[in-house]
Amino acid sequence: MSSSQIDHLLEETRRFAPSAEFAAGAVATAALYEQAAADREGFWAEQARALHWHTPFTEVLDWSNPPFARWFGDGELNVAYNCLDRHVEAGRGGRVALLWEGEPGDERAVTYAELADEVKRVANVLTGLGVAAGDRVAIYLPMIPEAVAAMLACARIGAIHSVVFGGFSADSLRARIDDAGAKVVITADGGYRKGKVSPLKPAVDLALGERPGLGAQQTVEHVLVVRRGGNDVEWNDGRDLWWHDVVPQASAEHEAAAFPAEHPLFILYTSGTTGTPKGILHTSGGYLTQAAFTNRIVHDLHPETDVYWCTADIGWITGHSYVVYGPLANGATQVLYEGTPDTPHPGRWWEIVQKYGVTILYTAPTAIRSFMKIGRKVPRRFDLTSLRVLGSVGEPINPEAWMWYRRIIGGKTAPIVDTWWQTETGAIMVSALPGITETKPGSAQVPLPGISIDVVDEDGAHVGNGNGGLLVITEPWPSMLRGIWGDPERFVATYWEKFQRLGYYFAGDGARLDQDGDVWFLGRVDDVMNVSGHRLSTTEIESALVAHEAVAEAAVVGASDETTGQAVVAFVIVKESYLAEHSPEGLAGALRLWVGEQIGPIARPRDVYIVGELPKTRSGKIMRRLLRDVAEGRDVGDTTTLADAAVMNVISAQVH
Ligand code: WTA
């Protein structure tokens, strides 16, 4: 057995064909696959022409210097013009762009005309502060309309934004500001999270403050501050400006200049479950092309009638591509929600779906599993019948979570698209297409039209249907990363060196092809376990656990074992309704047997720990590395990227 083969254990045979009715109105067509296969570059050129180009391109792809791609290289466009002015000039300025809901329940509807106006003012303010094309601007804001306006204002003047998630600490913010050499920081006094104001400006002050040995040396000249939380803030005269003092006064006249297609649009630091953050660089024309195209065909977006809601924070790539750039380029009306799903009550998201009549919901498996944990009674209290398309992103979705999403949220009719992509890919790469694909719970299924992927062994050879291996992208794509900010060598080493001879991009994910050639993601390759010489994926065993009626969420890791090399150790969150009636010991024993029955003795966990929480990054990904430390009895390693640093203490206490 080749070392990259990953054994396939779980058989999932449920299938859901699209209804004739849905198929009849679907944005995507089956012909897209044929068109793209016949002429890949021509296909992408056609998608790019859906944007407005100040100077139309004549070149499509320049791959003469791999892995540094150029797409639409001689074309010029303005990203913000495409997201705003274009719609206003076409007479759609009165359409609502953002249906914003604050956590405390305040609301604002912002039309395309209003958003365009605000962005022009902010663009003028930034220019007045000395920000020029190519300069970096750090954005550290809650989910408020100003966050969207700040990003688009940067895009409008060709400044490169680096959005830093509002939940990150002053240290993380400082590292990102320094790495990018930001000239301006846009922040707020604070934002609402879990019923309280969570301060932001104080973290900026700390990040920009004196540092041992270095003093206050840094690149930031100004801090633009939105008033949102109403909390007290310190003020640095000359450096700090209130948004409300300068933006409304600024002129709303601003002509969008044209920038080359390869002009940098943003840097986004990967959350990463391992290693130090990398500043992933994206550029303009190719990125916007693929973000907008995929948002239309994968989410089946009908901008005139849909109410779209992507729940991601703008601090993540999903917020960049599917809250800001894709939907706004398409003229969508979307919900933007500031707060957490369970504040002030556990049905908050479903209340928002009901209130705005949300038709398309795009969220993460971690959220779905946390709703499973509290039970179906909560969503059942709301009218969710407006929902017609459901999406998932961020992790493999376990078949049982997929089924729950379909039954309880989608009313057994809404198609689910499980979308695989990365910060690095910029936009969706592998997904079903609603109305076209017969869906399979737990499978991301097929590469999108115009995207070429494969599942290969260590030598880069195709593994064949029925086998597992490493996911690679075999041809350049428009929204691909153009590099790591300031570190071209790391860019090459991380993604391209492994299959250099073949020119493949290595994604770091394990995947399996089923008998139809559809893709099933198996988790990060670094997390694969080796039990008695069998390479087992975390995803399949976790899915078997989640398929047990008592289990809401599970994480498994390989812990060193004298006899088997590694042994499977499971950490399990039990649904609230089961906790009262069952003892942890009884449940653990039952789950060991269950996994043995579901997938075979090789996968049966040596230990099952019932825990209250799992360690997750701030974007909701499970950090199995830390669980491995617990399973092997070591001190727990670096927890700085955890959403809640206290979780590991609780888990360690529960285990020992
Ligand atoms: C994982 C998020 C399985 C994967 C857009 C990838 C997924 C990493 C899926 C990127 C999916 C994302 N099925 N795994 N549908 N979507 N992943 O950069 O391991 O935050 O490499 O981008 O998330 O995470 P990132």
Token representation of residue 195? 């019923």
Q: Please tell me the predicted confidence (pLDDT) of residue 584.
A: 86
Q: Please tell me the predicted confidence (pLDDT) of residue 12.
A: 87
Q: Please tell me the predicted confidence (pLDDT) of residue 269.
A: 95
Return the half-sphere exposure (C-beta side, CA atoms, 13 A cut-off) of residue 280. 24
Closest ligand 1 atom, residue 270 Cα: 18
pLDDT at 558 over 80: yes
- Measured CA to CA in angstroms, residue 489 lies from 263, 486, 495, 496, 522 at distances of 21, 9, 10, 10, 28
Alpha-carbon distance of 108 to 99, in angstroms, equals 6
Domain locations in the chain?
39-340, 528-655
Which of 37-51, 364-378, 600-614 shows the highest mean pLDDT?
37-51
Classify the C-alpha dihedral 305-310-313-317 as positive or negative: negative
Task: Label residue 214 by pLDDT band (50, 70, 90).
Answer: low
Nearest CA, atom 11, ligand 1: 420
Q: Please tell me the predicted confidence (pLDDT) of residue 4.
A: 61
Q: What number of H helices and E strands is found in the chain?
A: 23, 30
Token representation of residue 138? 């750090």
pLDDT at 1 over 60: no
Ligand 1 centroid to 431 CA: how many Å? 12
The proportion of the chain whose per-residue pLDDT surpasses 90, expressed as a percent, equals 86
Task: Tell me the pLDDT tens digit for each residue of 455-505.
Answer: 999 999 999 999 999 999 999 999 999 999 999 999 999 999 999 999 999
Q: Which residues pair with 100 in a beta bridge?
A: 108, 336
Three-state secondary structure of 531-550 = ECCEEECHHHHHHHHHCCCC
Q: Please tell me the predicted confidence (pLDDT) of residue 272.
A: 56
Three-point CA angle 8, 521, 29, nearest 5°: 120
Ligand 1 centroid to 418 CA: how many Å? 10
User: Is ligand 1 within 6 A of the CB of residue 395?
Assistant: yes
Task: Tell me the pLDDT tens digit for each residue of 504-523.
Answer: 999 999 999 999 999 999 99
**Mutation choice for ligand 1 from 393, 473, 519, 618, CB with most ligand atoms inside 8 A:** 393
Task: Label residue 643 by pLDDT band (50, 70, 90).
Answer: confident
The proportion of the chain whose per-residue pLDDT surpasses 70, expressed as a percent, equals 98
- Measured CA to CA in angstroms, residue 621 lies from 312, 489, 602, 605 at distances of 13, 27, 26, 21
pLDDT at 356 over 90: yes
- Type and span of the H or E element at 204: helix 201-207
Q: What is the mean pLDDT of residues 247-269?
A: 98
Token representation of residue 143? 């989910």
Nearest CA, atom 5, ligand 1: 422
Amino acid 47 reads Q
- Type and span of the H or E element at 46: helix 40-48
Question: Do the two domains 39-340 and 528-655 of this chain adopt the same fold?
Answer: no
Nearest CA, atom 24, ligand 1: 422
Q: Please tell me the predicted confidence (pLDDT) of residue 271.
A: 61
CATH topology of domain 39-340: Rossmann fold (3.40.50)
Q: Which residue has the higher pLDDT, 95 or 576?
A: 95
Listed residue (593, 592, 605, 612) closest to 655, CA to CA: 612
pLDDT at 61 over 90: yes
Token representation of residue 16? 């859901």
**Residue partners of 171: CB distance under 8 A and separation at least 6:** 207, 640
Q: Please tell me the predicted confidence (pLDDT) of residue 2.
A: 44
Q: Please tell me the predicted confidence (pLDDT) of residue 277.
A: 81
pLDDT at 213 over 90: no
User: Is ligand 1 within 6 A of the CB of residue 362?
Assistant: no
User: Is ligand 1 within 6 A of the CB of residue 421?
Assistant: yes
Q: Please tell me the predicted confidence (pLDDT) of residue 274.
A: 52
User: Is ligand 1 within 6 A of the CB of residue 366?
Assistant: no
**Mutation choice for ligand 1 from 273, 505, 521, 618, CB with most ligand atoms inside 8 A:** 521
**Contact criterion met (CB below 8 Å) for 443 and 12:** yes
Ligand 1 centroid to 401 CA: how many Å? 16
- Type and span of the H or E element at 594: helix 584-599
CATH topology of domain 528-655: GMP Synthetase; Chain A, domain 3 (3.30.300)
User: Is ligand 1 within 6 A of the CB of residue 542?
Assistant: no
User: Is ligand 1 within 6 A of the CB of residue 273?
Assistant: no
Q: Please tell me the predicted confidence (pLDDT) of residue 377.
A: 95
Q: What is the mean pLDDT of residues 350-369?
A: 97
| 131: Cα separation from own chain's centroid | 28
Residue 338's SS3 state is coil
Nearest CA, atom 10, ligand 1: 422
User: Is ligand 1 within 6 A of the CB of residue 418?
Assistant: yes
Long-range pairs of 255-259 with CB within 8 A, sequence gap ≥ 24: 256/78, 256/80, 256/81, 256/85, 256/156, 257/78, 257/133, 257/157, 257/158, 258/54, 258/55, 258/76, 258/77, 258/78, 259/76, 259/77, 259/78, 259/79, 259/133, 259/158, 259/284
Which of 434-443, 471-480, 625-634 has the least mean pLDDT? Answer: 625-634
